[in-house]
Amino acid sequence: MSAETAELRVALVGLPNCGKTALFNRLTGSRQKVANYPGVTVERKEGIFAAASGRRYRLLDLPGTYSLKPTTLDEAITRDVALGRVAHEPRPETIVLVADATHLPLSLRLALEVRRLGLPMVMVLNMSDVARRRGFAIDREALSRELGAPVLETVATRSGGADALIAELERLAVPAQPLASPAGWQEPTASEVTATHAEAARMLELAGYREPLRSRAVAMADRILMNPFAGMLILATLLFFVFQAVFSWAAWPMDLIDAGVTALAELVRGALPDGPLRSLLADGVIAGVGSVIVFLPQIVILFAFILALEDSGYLPRAAYLLDRVMGSVGLSGRAFIPLLSSFACAIPGIMATRTIPNLRDRIVTILVAPLMTCSARLPVYALLIAAFIPQRDFGVFNLQGLVLFVLYFAGVASALLVAWVAKLIAGGQSNHLLMLELPDYQWPNLRNLALGLWEKTRVFLARAGGIILALMVLLWFLSTYPAPPVGATGPAIEYSFAGQLGKALAIVLAPIGFNWQIAIALIPGLAAREVAVGALGTVYALSGDEEAVSTALSSVIASEWGLATGLALLAWYVFAPQCLATLAVVRRETNGWRYPLLMLVYLFALAYLAAFVTYRVTLAVAA
């Protein structure tokens, strides 16, 4: 086989959080998610890259694991791939054992276990930048001799930081045949694990490795941040601050986008003759998509905080602080990270539940994940808050930020409640696994942060220009045709297909205060929650007079709806059962329709109940 056509299959194996995904991204140029906590990668990810020689590499990023005897679904993937037990997946021909250079013992022990698989292995000491900064020195030659494999240094987060690894891979030959699974391989026993610990310690001693001391700064930070009282206070303040910032910092860029969208709509209106095309562009596309895009600044601010926190190493500490609360409702401590990811979107959150060993725990976590307020709900909340909550300041707090905080909190509280009810119904063992590694703190890498934010912006805009745009066009058609009969009085939309449907649905929704316009908006909201905002934009653009269209959507609904309706819709969206993509992922992750249906029914019931109570109570209080 010539070097040009040959392809080497390389798998990245290592402990959680040692930088495998960062290395994968560095080598393949892709943008998989990295974060400073364990359990981010729960699937195998494949990427291809070519070295300078022209030879191609097929690189596999695998979930982190402490040993080849798995306790969770994601760890089992790593073992199965390494052993060549996965259907339609040839065995990797080389293993790159990724180690965190600042914490070698557990990585080296894993390396000894992996060595028994009989595959060529290269060990990389990643994060060597941090290790060097801390004055860490190791005799790589000695380690390499002892291990019987090359030992290299990498810095996955720096450009060129994996060049040594590429050079080493270039030296390896591609086997002529696919490798067979090793015969007679057995899971390491507990005493073998103890023995490999001792062996790793001996090798590290020979290589002159000294266990890093815990720095004073880290010790001090942990003493404060993990203190039961100070730590809790800081966590609460931090979260509070994030929601305040989402509102107060986003104000002026939002005004700017809003002005741009309005100006564009005016331009289109002025340039085109009255007719279907003008209406499609101005009422369908610009009013619809524009009303979603306005919320980009808030999404960016929220993610800036999330990404910075993820990189910092603080989040596993937050999991530690909240573990009692989680445990008391029967949730595994491992549920924290999946639930936290669900604040961005429930889908990665639900996939991250693979790190939960116990099946029952995992199902409960999946079922409550949609109660965490995903970022797609932020535009809905923000729109309604801007419309119905006055912008008033109480000292350092502003009322709008406070309401947003309460909404997020309501989601979390109901998740805990649902988990607790699930525990009552299904029973549950009392012993849940936590055993979470608390990584070192690190300053968020600004370049990663910028890249991450750009990625989120891109995804948001792609959604706005893709699925949201398509739905808006569809909705425009359904809201415009059939045209009203001659001599009709009300706005044309009332006679359209969507108008008729909305009015039919409004009968069911009337008890919770929703009008037919809201009913229409809820339907495309099934595909993506933020579409509900765009749909309201289109519906009101079509039903309003010229004057109403040029004012912001929030002022339109503020004048059209009563306070009770606005609050009821907020309450509805805390539960917001309508997200088809989430249901599809639940079906896939639980292999059946049982749990997605259960989720759909219970979320609908809660949404209706919450909206009903909110509506009635507000009416009663206001009266």
Partner 1 sequence: MSADPSRADAPPDSHRRLTMLAVGDRARVALVLEDDPISRRLIEVGFVPGAAIEVIASMWPAADPLAIRVGGSTFALRRHEAERIVIA
Which residues are CB-contacts of 291 (< 8 A; sequence separation ≥ 6)? 261, 383, 533, 534, 536, 537, 553
The residue from 127, 315, 519, 568 that contacts ligand GDP (CB under 6 A) is 127
Choose, by CB under 5 A, the member of 21, 78, 157, 353 that binds Mg ion: 21
Tokens of 19: 């930088």
Handedness of CA 458, 459, 461, 465 (dihedral sign): positive
| Cα gap 6→34, rounded to integer Å | 30
Q: How far is the CB of 105 from partner 1 (least distance, A)?
A: 5
Calpha distance 379→370 (Å, rounded):
16
Minimum CB separation of residue 40 from Mg ion in Å reads 5
Q: Rounded to the nearest 10 degrees, how much is the dihedral formed by the CA atoms of 604, 606, 607, 612?
A: 120
Eight-state DSSP code of residue 88: T
Amino acid 288 reads: G
Query: 271 to 330, contacts with ligand GDP by CB under 6 A?
Result: 311
Distance separating alpha carbons of residues 527 and 267, to the nearest angstrom: 30
Interface with partner 1 (CB under 8 A), residue from 31, 85, 202, 223: 223
Query: 123: which DSSP letter?
Result: E
The nearer residue to ligand GDP, 64 or 120, going by C-beta atoms, is 64
Residue nearest to ligand GDP (CB): 19
Residue 435, interface with partner 1 (CB under 8 A)? yes
CB burial of residue 155 (10 Å; 0-12, 13-18, 19+): buried
**In angstroms, what is the minimal distance from the CB of 131 to ligand GDP?**
9
229 binds, among partner 1, ligand GDP, Mg ion, none (CB under 5 to 8 A by kind): partner 1
Q: Which does 323 bind (CB under 5 to 8 A by kind): Mg ion, ligand GDP, partner 1, none?
A: partner 1
Piece in contact with ligand GDP (CB under 6 A), picked from 151-159, 281-289, 528-536, 571-579: 151-159
The answer to whether 353 contacts Mg ion (rule: CB under 5 A) is no
Show the beta-strand stretches assigned E in 235-355: none
Binding partner of residue 296 among partner 1, Mg ion, ligand GDP, none, CB cut-off 5 to 8 Å per kind: none
Q: Report yes or no: 476 and 279 within 8 Å, Cβ to Cβ.
A: yes
User: How many C-beta neighbours within 10 Å does residue 56 have?
Assistant: 17
Nearer to Mg ion among residue 21 and residue 65 (C-beta): 21
Contact between 180 and partner 1 per CB under 8 A: no
> Cα–Cα distance between 100 and 172 in angstroms, integer?
23
Confirm or reject binding of residue 524 to ligand GDP (CB under 6 A): no
Q: Six-digit token pair at 376?
A: 């797609």
Work out how close the CB of 190 gets to partner 1 at its nearest, in angstroms, rounded to a whole number. Answer: 6
CB of 103 to partner 1, least distance (A): 5
Residues 18-37 that bind ligand GDP (CB under 6 A): 18-22, 34-36
Restricting to residues 293-332, name those near partner 1 by CB under 8 A.
Answer: 316, 319-321, 323-324, 327
Nearest to Mg ion of 351, 387 (CB atom): 351
What amino acid occupies position 579?
Answer: C
* Near ligand GDP by CB under 6 A: residue from 10, 97, 155, 234: 155
Judged by CB under 5 A, the residue of 25, 28, 41, 479 near Mg ion is 41
Token pair, residue 299, equals: 């999404």
Of 227, 550, 555, 559, the residue at the interface with partner 1 (CB under 8 A) is 227
Report the alpha-carbon distance of residue 22 to residue 31 in Å, rounded. Answer: 9
What separation in angstroms does the CA of 591 have from each of 336, 365, 425, 596? 23, 16, 22, 10
DSSP type of residue 154? -
437 binds partner 1 (CB under 8 A): yes
Q: Is 64 in the site for ligand GDP (CB under 6 A)?
A: yes
Is residue 434 within 8 A of residue 333, CB to CB? The reply is: yes
CB atoms within 10 A of CB 538: 35
- The Cα–Cα gap between 165 and 174 comes to 16
Question: Binding partner of residue 198 among Mg ion, ligand GDP, partner 1, none, CB under 5 to 8 Å per kind?
Answer: partner 1
Residues near ligand GDP (CB under 6 A): 14, 16-22, 34-36, 40-41, 64, 126-127, 129-130, 155-157, 311, 445, 448
Residues within the interface to partner 1 (CB under 8 A): 66-67, 69, 71, 102-106, 109, 190, 193-194, 197-198, 211-212, 214, 219, 222-223, 226-229, 316, 319-321, 323-324, 327, 333, 357, 430-438
